[in-house]
């Protein structure tokens, strides 16, 4: 259900953020100085924003050493000992810090889970953890990869004091520090205000549209990039004297208004007929849904069907034609709900409750409900567990963009009968490495017989900062493909939408770079990044007569979803060599190509509503087992 027609949400949200800032403006000169400070996050050592806030109280420290010494002696929390005991890598430590921040905000003990009346009571309650192995699962959740607190200096400072190294994660060099800091800045983080030891949380949001032409992409200075300095709104300092209750109310109201604005813009974007024509013209999409609905009579004949996000109503019309006894089509866009109703009427399938048909029987079975699926209880009464078949075309770019899966799972849990069918019922994300042909370099290397490769190199560099949605030719894939993550939509839980997964990519026995260079035991090629795509399955679990698959693979006909491209900061040479024969060349170079590439990928819901955040870690492995890691990369699909 992805589209290129998203409205200009950023302008709307910037106005809202500006309005909220004015409410807290106290015209203090120091505020203006603070605003300028956002543009240079490193700042001076004496800048207050560089101070490190204690995990448990409102004390601030100039260094991690002093902060962790304080936590150990005062709050019974020995950060270094815990990391060493559990062999934590950077990301596990990152999660632990965010987990503790979240617990303290609710006055909960991080180790035993007890809830205290106040922050002071919590500080008095804190104690040494009895068995770390029993409680480490509490923060082993990908939601803690998202910083809990805005501008949490500790998250990009504690790494300087690491005691344990993970072989897949390189030392945090200066580039990675900048990447991490800037990636945190583009996430829409919770701001936490500490007033007399009490945490107050709220969030501010903004949304950018997704670029979809990486061959003619603008210079990064002209776009809002994931790692761009100007991607973060300025938040006014909050006067401690302000009424806490009023502040919390305004914060909640601010967040609700922004989510509402994003939803209105999102659903409004689907009012464009051009988007629906693009989706209806997608033969792969239409063939898969048509076969699943129309060619499985044992599933649809006489069934009560719900279509979540019906758009023009095409899936609902399929269901009616397949013999469904009732079709409930839910659409949040005001315009498209009216259009779907008219289309059903024009085709004689509209359920007109005010008029009965011959002998009291209704010819039409389709009824359209205007509203978000989470709110239709306010509009119409549908008995729980009364739906036989749940339909939806919910997939976005990289499968999970747009966050519509959450709505489908909500409808499943509330209305689908036990043992009822959900279409599609499986979804799988795949990954493979692409070569030079998957970039814009070949185009710029020969423009009317002129070399403009300097432009191509700049575009490839920019592409390492943002995910690109575009078509990749299967001939430009230089590695095997691998399953990154699979979902069973009939049984999965909503929190499983966020995940971290690993995959191993090996060179293809014959790889092409500009369709000229072939890799074998004597040669290598360069892998410039990875491409993600998805498949959804209408399996024989529900589609007994005609199971089918909808694939967005580079190996199958193209779809309007294209593929999602994540570009490495530097290409990695891969091949089938036997080693570097004692040379000092680094793994992943042409002198010492990697025999395989290990990936670790995290995809989580972004704090920017309906967006997703992606982190990518890459390790090159030599034929003799040596390993080389590259700095982690962070992408935001907005």
SS3 318: helix
Tokens 């014959």 label which residue? 510
Catalytic residue status for 545 = no
For the chain, the farthest-separated pair of C-alpha atoms sits apart, in whole angstroms, at: 89
Q: Which one is catalytic: 185, 402, 513, 617? A: 402
> Distances from the Cα of 68 to the Cαs of 97, 127, 557, in angstroms?
12, 15, 55
What letter does residue 54 receive in the DSSP assignment? P
φ, ψ (nearest 5 deg) of residue 346: -65, -25
**3-state SS assignment for residue 371:** coil
Count how many Cα atoms sit within 13 Å of the Cα of residue 407 in the half-sphere of its side chain.
26
SS3 78: coil
**467 with 398: CB under 8 angstroms?**
yes
Q: Can you tell me the distance from the alpha carbon of 618 to that of 278, in angstroms, rounded to the nearest whole number?
A: 35
CA-nearest of 491, 396, 464, 429 to 618 is 464
CB atoms within 10 A of CB 598: 17
Considering the candidates 393, 513, 535, 617, report the single residue annotated as catalytic. 393
CA distance 193 to 203: 12
Cα(567)–Cα(462) distance, rounded to whole angstroms?
A: 9
Specify whether the CB–CB gap between 316 and 339 falls below 8 A: no
DSSP string across 121-161: HHHHH----S-HHHHGGGG-SGGGGS-SSTT-GGGGTGGGG
d(CA 559, CA 552): 6
Q: Which helix (H) or strand (E) holds 612?
A: strand 612-621
Per DSSP, what are the bridge partners of residue 367? Answer: 328
3 state SS of 83 = helix
Can 264 be counted among the known catalytic residues?
A: no
- Give alpha helix (H) positions in 295-420: 297-300, 314-321, 334-346, 404-415
Active site residues: 393, 402
């Amino acid at each position: 259900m992805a589209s290129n027609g998203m409205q200009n949400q950023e302008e709307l949200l910037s106005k809202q953020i500006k309005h909220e800032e004015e409410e807290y403006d106290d015209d203090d000169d120091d505020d203006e100085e603070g605003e300028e400070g956002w543009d240079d996050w490193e700042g001076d050592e004496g800048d207050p924003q560089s101070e490190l806030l204690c995990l448990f109280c409102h004390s601030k420290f100039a260094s991690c050493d002093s902060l962790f010494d304080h936590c150990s002696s005062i709050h019974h929390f020995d950060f270094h000992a815990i990391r060493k005991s559990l062999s934590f890598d950077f990301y596990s430590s990152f999660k632990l810090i965010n987990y503790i921040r979240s617990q303290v905000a609710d006055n909960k003990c991080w180790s035993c889970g007890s809830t205290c009346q106040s922050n002071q009571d919590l500080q008095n309650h804190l104690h040494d953890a009895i068995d770390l192995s029993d409680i480490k699962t509490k923060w082993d959740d990908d939601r803690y990869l998202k910083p809990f607190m805005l501008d949490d200096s500790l998250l990009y400072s504690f790494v300087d004091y690491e005691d344990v190294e993970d072989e897949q994660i390189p030392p945090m060099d200066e580039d990675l520090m900048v990447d991490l800091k800037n990636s945190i800045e583009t996430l829409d983080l919770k701001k936490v205000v500490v007033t007399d030891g009490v945490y107050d949380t709220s969030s501010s949001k903004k949304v950018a549209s997704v670029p979809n032409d990486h061959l003619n992409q603008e210079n990064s200075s002209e776009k809002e990039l994931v790692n761009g300095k100007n991607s973060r709104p300025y938040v006014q300092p909050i006067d401690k004297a302000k009424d806490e209750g009023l502040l919390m109310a305004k914060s909640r109201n601010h967040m609700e208004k922004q989510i509402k604005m994003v939803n209105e813009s999102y659903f409004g974007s689907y009012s464009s007929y051009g988007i629906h024509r693009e989706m209806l013209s997608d033969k792969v999409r239409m063939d898969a849904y048509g076969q699943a609905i129309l060619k499985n009579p044992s599933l649809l004949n006489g069934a009560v069907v719900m279509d979540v996000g019906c758009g023009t109503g095409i899936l609902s019309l399929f269901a009616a034609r397949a013999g469904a006894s009732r079709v409930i089509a839910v659409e949040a866009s005001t315009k498209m709900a009216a259009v779907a109703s008219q289309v059903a009427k024009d085709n004689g399938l509209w359920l007109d409750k005010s008029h009965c048909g011959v002998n009291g029987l209704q010819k039409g079975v389709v009824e359209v409900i205007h509203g978000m699926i989470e709110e239709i209880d306010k509009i119409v009464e549908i008995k729980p567990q009364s739906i036989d078949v749940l339909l939806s075309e919910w997939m976005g770019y990289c499968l999970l963009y747009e966050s519509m899966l959450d709505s489908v799972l909500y409808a499943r849990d509330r209305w689908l009968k036990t043992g009822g069918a959900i279409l599609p019922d499986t979804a799988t994300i795949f990954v493979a490495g692409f070569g030079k042909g998957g970039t814009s370099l070949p185009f710029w290397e020969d423009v009317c017989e002129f070399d403009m490769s300097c432009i191509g190199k700049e575009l490839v560099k920019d592409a390492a900062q943002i995910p690109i949605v575009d078509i990749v030719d299967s001939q430009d894939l230089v590695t095997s493909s691998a399953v990154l993550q699979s979902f069973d939509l009939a049984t999965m839980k909503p929190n499983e939408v966020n995940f971290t997964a690993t995959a191993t990519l090996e060179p293809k026995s014959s790889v092409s770079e500009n369709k000229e260079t072939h890799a074998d035991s004597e040669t290598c090629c360069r892998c410039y990044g990875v491409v993600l795509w998805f498949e959804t399955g209408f399996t024989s679990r529900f589609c007994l007569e005609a199971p089918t698959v909808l694939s967005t693979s580079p190996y199958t006909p193209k779809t309007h979803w294209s593929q999602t491209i994540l570009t490495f900061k530097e290409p990695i040479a891969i091949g089938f060599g036997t080693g570097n024969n004692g040379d000092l060349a680094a793994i992943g170079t042409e002198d010492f190509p990697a025999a395989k590439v290990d990936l670790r990928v995290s995809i989580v819901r972004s704090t920017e509503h309906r967006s997703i955040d992606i982190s990518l870690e890459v390790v090159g492995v030599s034929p003799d087992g040596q390993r080389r890691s590259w700095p982690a990369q962070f992408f935001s699909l907005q």
